[in-house]
């Protein structure tokens, strides 16, 4: 069994990333099956509850106030509007609602109180709730936890070395401190990054080092392909090849075996075949809905059609069924749930047959 390691080096991760593709895919898929149901994908809906006007200068983001983009800003949504959106997301197969606000950091006051009420409201719908609100303090993280928040997203975006080429209004260490504040509460961590921003392979490996050496590792890691938006400093960046996404997903799966790897922004540029390769390589979460905050995303009906073609099923809320380590544990688990799941470790088929033979002889 591949367990969590917290001492990965950049050189080790680069060696994995650069493996021959077939070897990389086999290794990643094998590890994926040891820890996850390969036929189940967690589906989240990302909702922009406050759009535009952000004081940050993230080079990829159309919501920065200093850039001239076509984004229409809006004030904080009402709780009733958010509830209606959450119900719509649940009906379409999502088990989690992720609420994003274009803030640099969370400020105590009426707006934060309103977000806390949104969290309580969605939690009552038996859905997981995630927020991405910028930097927050330890006390704010605890208040979100008390309201029922399931996860907090705060992406590292890239490596520490390349970070200053992407953002100048916030330090890499600020990101780590927010993650640390989340860890002090009962909220799970969602943190990943973006590839295709002009970074080197060493920067992709550096970002994974920063995430994989956290203890514990993030429960969720979104892997985004840059969506170049007109009016941002990165508007002329060329789309990355699908093979880069597959390699990044596979490498993330290998160095963070228990984490849910989310195939995030950029899916509109990916074929179904390309996305299928990412699922095979270890991606087991997506964002559904026609928008990811402000950038385009595949229609939910298209995703459900793809799921049907691939035999994938949406994961239920608050359910995680890790792969048992032994045949005996598998058999015990089958008895507990009353049915055999559609997945099993490949080597267990042979082992189970041998176990059956031994039982037959003894009887």
Taking residue 182's Cβ as centre, other Cβ atoms within 10 Å add up to 27
Annotated catalytic residue: which of 96, 131, 183, 190?
190
Q: Which of 143, 183, 253, 262 is catalytic?
A: 262
Distance CA 136, CA 138 (A): 7
d(CA 241, CA 17): 15
User: Which of the following is catalytic: 5, 33, 66, 130?
Assistant: 130
Question: Catalytic residue among 61, 170, 204, 247, which?
Answer: 61
Question: Does residue 162 contact residue 206 with C-beta atoms inside 8 Å?
Answer: yes
Is 262 one of the annotated active-site residues of the chain? yes
Is residue 174 within a helix (H) or strand (E), and if so which, with residue range?
Answer: helix 172-183
The dihedrals phi and psi of 97, each to the nearest 5 degrees, come to: -110, 125
Partners of 189 in the beta sheet? Answer: 152
Q: For residues 166 and 164, give the distance between their C-alpha atoms in angstroms, rounded to a whole number.
A: 5
Helix (H, G, I), strand (E, B) or coil at 81: helix
Catalytic residue among 5, 33, 58, 345: 58
1 Cβ neighbours under 8 A, 6+ residues apart: 34, 325
Residue-wise DSSP of 324-359: PSSHHHHHHHHHHHTS--S---TTHHHHHHHHHHHH
How far, in Å, CA of 276 to CA of 271, rounded? 9
Give the separation between CA 278 and CA 272, rounded to whole angstroms. Answer: 10
What the block records as the tokens of 244 is 């880069």
DSSP code, position 269:
G
Catalytic residue, chosen from 98, 131, 143, 204, is: 98
170 by DSSP, 3-state: which? coil
Q: What is the dihedral of CA 115, 107, 101, 183, to 10 degrees?
A: -80
Give catalytic status of residue 54 as yes or no. Answer: yes
- Among residues 207, 279, 170, the alpha carbon closest in space to that of 17 is found at 207
Cα 241 from chain centre: 20
Active site residue 278: no
Positions annotated as catalytic residues are 54, 58, 61, 98, 130, 190, 262
């Amino acid at each position: 069994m591949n367990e969590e390691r917290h001492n990965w080096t950049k050189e080790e991760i680069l060696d994995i990333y650069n493996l021959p593709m077939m070897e990389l895919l086999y290794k990643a898929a094998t590890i994926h099956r040891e820890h996850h149901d390969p036929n189940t994908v967690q589906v989240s809906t990302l909702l922009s509850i406050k759009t535009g006007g952000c004081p940050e200068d993230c080079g990829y983001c159309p919501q920065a106030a200093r850039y001239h983009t076509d984004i229409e800003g809006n004030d904080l949504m009402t709780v009733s509007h958010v509830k209606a959106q959450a119900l719509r997301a649940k009906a379409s197969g999502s088990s989690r609602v992720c609420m994003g606000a274009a803030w640099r950091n969370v400020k105590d006051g009426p707006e934060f109180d309103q977000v806390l009420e949104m969290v309580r409201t969605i939690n009552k719908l038996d859905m997981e709730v995630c927020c991405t609100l910028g930097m927050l303090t330890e006390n704010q993280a605890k208040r979100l936890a008390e309201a029922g928040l399931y996860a907090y997203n705060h992406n590292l975006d890239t490596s520490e070395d390349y970070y200053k080429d992407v953002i100048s209004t916030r330090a890499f260490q600020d990101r780590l401190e927010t993650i640390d504040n989340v860890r002090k509460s009962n909220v799970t961590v969602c943190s990943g990054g973006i590839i295709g921003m002009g970074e080197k392979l060493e920067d992709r490996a550096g970002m994974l080092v920063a995430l994989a050496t956290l203890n514990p590792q993030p429960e969720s890691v979104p892997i985004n392909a840059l969506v170049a938006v007109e009016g941002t400093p990165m508007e002329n960046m060329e789309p990355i090849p699908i093979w880069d996404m597959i390699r990044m997903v596979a490498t993330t799966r290998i160095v963070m075996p228990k984490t849910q790897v989310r195939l995030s922004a950029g899916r509109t540029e990916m074929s179904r075949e390309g996305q299928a390769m990412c699922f095979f390589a270890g991606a087991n979460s997506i964002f559904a809905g026609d928008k990811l905050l402000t950038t385009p995303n595949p229609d939910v009906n298209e995703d459900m059609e793809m799921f049907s073609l691939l035999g994938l099923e949406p994961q239920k809320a608050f359910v995680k069924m890790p792969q048992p380590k032994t045949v005996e544990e598998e058999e015990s688990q089958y008895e507990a749930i009353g049915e055999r799941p559609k997945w099993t470790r490949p080597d267990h088929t042979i082992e189970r047959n041998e176990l059956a033979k031994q039982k037959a002889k003894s009887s």
